[in-house]
Amino acid sequence: MNKDQKQEKIVSMFDEIASTYDMTNRVLSMGIDKSWRKKGCDKTLELLERDKDLTVLDVACGTGDMLQWWKDRGEAAGVTFKRFIGVDPSEGMLEVAKEKVDYAEFIVAKAQDMPVEENTADILSISYGIRNVVDRQEAINEFYRVLKPGGMVVILEFTKRDKSGLKGKIVDFYMHKILPTIGGLVSRNYEAYRYLPDSIEGFLTTEMLQQELESAGFTMQYTQAFSMGISTLLIAKK
């Protein structure tokens, strides 16, 4: 299977689980992902050296969750947004997003090839989507292109973990045994939720992802691991 075929298979999988995606996520994370997203937004707005008329571009936006968080946390921080853009290659996901988020514009596109002008966004976020991008370095280069100077890229992701010790074994058991079973039951798509732990195993460590960001020209600003290292937040500046 070549890169294009692999990417299309991933997009097709997300099309199939779009209608149950939000509910399944809440069940699997027990709502903890809300605190991860909140932290990502709040820390970025704290680090960004501007707070008016911002444009946020959410890549692999899925059903629009992160766009809602940007709006809510921006209002809480007294930050004003003038434009919200969601990009995702899955039309099924975007159909759900459009019903939830009526203040954003949505574009069907891959992360590595976005029809967005350079220097457009003040903030570019991608939540639990970068590991699904086959041409990842191309995508990170594209993030750099569409961000304004001084803009921030915000990544929330399940990075590869150290599986040694009791903590590592507990997380590994949850990811490989409990998550696929519950995800499959709720979504009726067992293959999609078997893919998730496998995709994490084949992904990068936090340090490797930082290196790829720096290779594209970004400067790291902040990194934090959550919930026994299950999720990681990375913020970098153009």
pLDDT of residue 27: 58
- Do 182 and 190 meet the contact criterion of CB atoms below 8 Å apart? no
How many structural domains is the chain composed of?
A: 1
In a domain, 194, yes or no: no
Kindly give, in sequence order, each residue whose CB lies less than 8 Å from that of residue 75, ignoring residues fewer than 6 positions away. Answer: none
Residue 193 lies in a domain: no
Q: Which residue has the higher pLDDT, 17 or 222?
A: 222
CATH number, residue 42: 3.40.50.150
Per-residue pLDDT tens over the stretch 77-109: 999 999 999 999 999 989 999 999 999 999 999
Amino acid 203: pLDDT: 60
Does some domain include residue 188? no
d(CA 176, CA 197): 6
Pairing of strands 147-157, 121-127: parallel
* Per-residue confidence (pLDDT) for residue 231, from 0 to 100: 82
* pTM of the full structure: 0.83
Confidence of residue 21 (pLDDT cuts 50, 70, 90): low
170 occurs within a structural domain: no
Q: In this structure, is residue 94 part of a structural domain?
A: yes
pLDDT exceeds cutoff 70 at 30: no
Residues in the chain: 238
* Domain annotation covers residue 197: no
Using one digit for the tens of pLDDT, what is the confidence trace for 102-156?
999 999 999 999 999 999 999 999 998 888 888 999 999 999 999 999 999 999 9
Domain of 116, in residue numbers: 3-159+204-237
Share of the chain above pLDDT 90, in %: 57
Distance, in Å, from the CA atom of 205 to the CA atom of 159, rounded to the nearest integer, reads 5
In a domain, 11, yes or no: yes
Name which residue leads in pLDDT, 5 or 213. Answer: 213
pLDDT of residue 76: 97
Residues annotated within the binding site for S-adenosyl-L-methionine are: 63, 88, 127
Q: Which residues participate in the annotated binding site?
A: 63, 88, 127
